Amino acid sequence: MKVIGHLINGKLTHSDTSPQQSRLQDLTNPSTNEVIGRVALASKATVEEAIAAAEAAYPTWRNLPTAKRVRIMYRLRDLLEENADKICELITQEHGKVLNDAMGELQRGIENIEYVCSAPEMLKGEHSKNVGPAIDSWSEFQPLGVCAGITPFNFPAMVPLWMWPMAIACGNTFILKPSERTPSCALFIAELGIEAGIPAGVLNVVNGDKEAVDTLLTDRRIQAASFVGSTPIAEYVYTTGTARGKRVQAFGGAKNHAIVMPDADLDNAVAALMGAAYGSCGERCMAISVAVAVGDDTANTLVAKLQAQIAQLKVGDGMDNQNDMGPLVTKAHLNKVQGLITAGIEEGAELVVDGRNLKVPGYENGNYLGACLFDRVTAEMHIHSCEIFGPVLCVMRVDTMQEAMDIINNHEYGNGTCLFTRDGEAARYFSDNIKVGMVGINVPLPVPVAHHSFGGWKRSLFGDLHAYGPDSVRFYTKRKTITQRWPASGVREGIQFSFPSNS
């Protein structure tokens, strides 16, 4: 049985620094719940070994010309494309998402690599000549040092590629701690990075649990940490890291609403909602989990059309691209989502489509849950306030767009949202006044492209800078401004006690 270990100082290791402390956790295939491997959980000592390797590699790496660092990114992009099928199989084996969905995730990661290749332009700084008498001033962006990334189970390829490629392109070294539920993909991509030319120690991967996370957050040698996961853990990561002087960005949970206006093209809106709500079994932080219908006529038609489409959904093993939706990641998460569905019924919501009794022939032990649809959900219900992270779409009914916007603006999360309409005035008002970080107009998953930045508002993000795009350059660098003067030789100057200015 395979053991997924760590990548430290350019070498794979399947055991802990101290063999007597080695801990292994079963890795299961969510389609069958069969054990397909074991993942090593790093001890504090193992994480510290990775940090030491990154710290030792930093002085040489930071002084390597940016263009040479970027050439490695070009080679990595090619290797990712050449190994795309294998990467997607690893994603599907451990997460469960359908292969086509895994390929879309990987492609988004590759697009981020392509953006990283423009690092020489983004790092070139600014220069001003003669800001004062014979005085020049310029600013430059310098790397921070050793950085860390802690990534979630649901995007094992894309989210790590949000982080470490830009970090190392900017001259930092990096420790990646992927989810212990889906570790193989991130480790394999890191190996491709080594094959592309990343020197030993520049990129390290440690698999682990809270012990590894806490070591990264408290070790003084780590200068910055990026995290993606649930809001309670994001808040913990942010407060723990910043309390120790680290730069931290921590992306938390979401409850993404789509408002459906009476003038919307309902057939297109339903098609969009199906993919946004049930794609990847709803295990996306940008999934649309609430559709707010303006007017009962709109709601009645919307629910009827959604029911018809749900009846055609194909659910099964993610290795079969004929399926639309695979299993949830673990049996424990399946039980959690089923419990929330039961709670919704008890609160008074109307479960118009119940996917809890779904059986997939040949995969009876898998973590399968059919698409579920609630109607007449209210803002006070727990299924509306919490992030379900499963194939559950809630329909709410309101009388006006403003009422719908108030529901969204009053929610603790502010990750993504969408408005379906044909009214340009309504769309402009919505975009300008909604308190959410990423907004779509007739676009249900408004995930920014690689040359923009990703991030929500409110309790969906702790920190000021968003992920990837221009913000990532600012996150992984610090600005230094140099002011320089060369007095003419032989000229004596008087003492000045006033604050320097050009007046």
Residue holding tokens 């853990």? Answer: 233
Is the predicted pLDDT of residue 222 greater than 90, yes or no?
yes
pLDDT score for 20? 46
Bridge partners of residue 288, in order along the sequence? 256
pLDDT score for 40? 95
Q: In terms of Cα–Cα distance, which of 254, 75, 226, 209 is closest to 163? A: 226
For residues 296-304, average pLDDT: 98
- pLDDT, tens digit, for every residue of 195-205? 999 999 999 99
Is the predicted pLDDT of residue 186 greater than 60, yes or no?
yes
Please spell the DSSP secondary structure of 274-335, one letter per residue: HHHHHGGGG--TT-EEEEEEESHHHHHHHHHHHHHHHTT--B--TT-TT-SB---S-HHHHH
Sorted by sequence, the CB contacts under 8 Å of residue 451 that are 6+ apart come out as 115, 469, 470
> Strand, coil or helix: what is 381?
coil
pLDDT score for 381? 97
**Amino acid sitting at position 163:** M
- pLDDT, tens digit, for every residue of 138-159? 999 999 999 999 999 999 999 9
DSSP state of 450: T
Is the predicted pLDDT of residue 43 greater than 70, yes or no?
yes
Q: Is 88 a catalytic residue?
A: no
pLDDT score for 495? 87
Q: Half-sphere exposure (CA, 13 Å, Cβ side) for 267?
A: 0
Helix (H) or strand (E) holding 385: helix 382-385
- What is the chain's mean pLDDT, rounded? 95
pLDDT score for 21? 54
CA angle 378, 234, 214 (to 5 degrees): 150
For the stretch 90-99, what's the b/e string if a residue is b when 16 or more beta carbons lie within 10 angstroms of its beta carbon? bbbbbbbbbb
Please spell the DSSP secondary structure of 10-73, one letter per residue: TEEE-S-SSGGG-EEEEEEETTTTEEEEEEEE--HHHHHHHHHHHHHHHHHHHTS-HHHHHHHH
Lowest-pLDDT range, 220-224, 312-316, 407-411, 496-500?
A: 496-500
**Token pair belonging to 74:** 């070009």
Is the predicted pLDDT of residue 104 greater than 90, yes or no?
yes
How far is the CA of 421 from the CAs of 259, 263, 428, in angstroms? 9, 6, 11
Q: Half-sphere exposure (CA, 13 Å, Cβ side) for 297?
A: 5
CB 278 within 8 A of CB 313: yes
Catalytic site residue from 170, 281, 285, 372: 285
DSSP state of 454: B
Q: In terms of Cα–Cα distance, which of 357, 273, 285 is closest to 315? A: 357
pLDDT tier at 491, thresholds 50, 70, 90: confident
* CATH for the stretch 3-252+460-482: 3.40.605.10
Q: Kindly list the domain boundaries of the chain, sorted by start residue.
A: 3-252+460-482, 256-441
pLDDT tier at 239, thresholds 50, 70, 90: very high
Sorted by sequence, the CB contacts under 8 Å of residue 227 that are 6+ apart come out as 149, 150, 151, 233, 234, 237, 238, 248, 249, 250, 251
Is the predicted pLDDT of residue 17 greater than 50, yes or no?
no
CB 222 within 8 A of CB 58: no
CB 339 within 8 A of CB 346: no
For residues 251-266, average pLDDT: 97
pLDDT score for 496? 82
CB 66 within 8 A of CB 37: no
CB 266 within 8 A of CB 423: no
- How far is 86 from 104, CA to CA, in rounded Å? 14
Which is higher by pLDDT, 24 or 494? 24
Is the predicted pLDDT of residue 19 greater than 70, yes or no?
no
In CATH, 256-441 is 3.40.309.10 = yes
* Sheet of 288-294, strands arranged across: 350-353, 372-375, 392-398, 288-294, 256-260, 416-420, 438-441
pLDDT score for 16? 57
pLDDT tier at 95, thresholds 50, 70, 90: very high
pLDDT tier at 373, thresholds 50, 70, 90: very high
CA angle 116, 238, 50 (to 5 degrees): 60
For residues 27-32, average pLDDT: 97
- How far is 170 from 142, CA to CA, in rounded Å? 8
Tell me what percent of the residues of the chain surpass a pLDDT of 70. 98
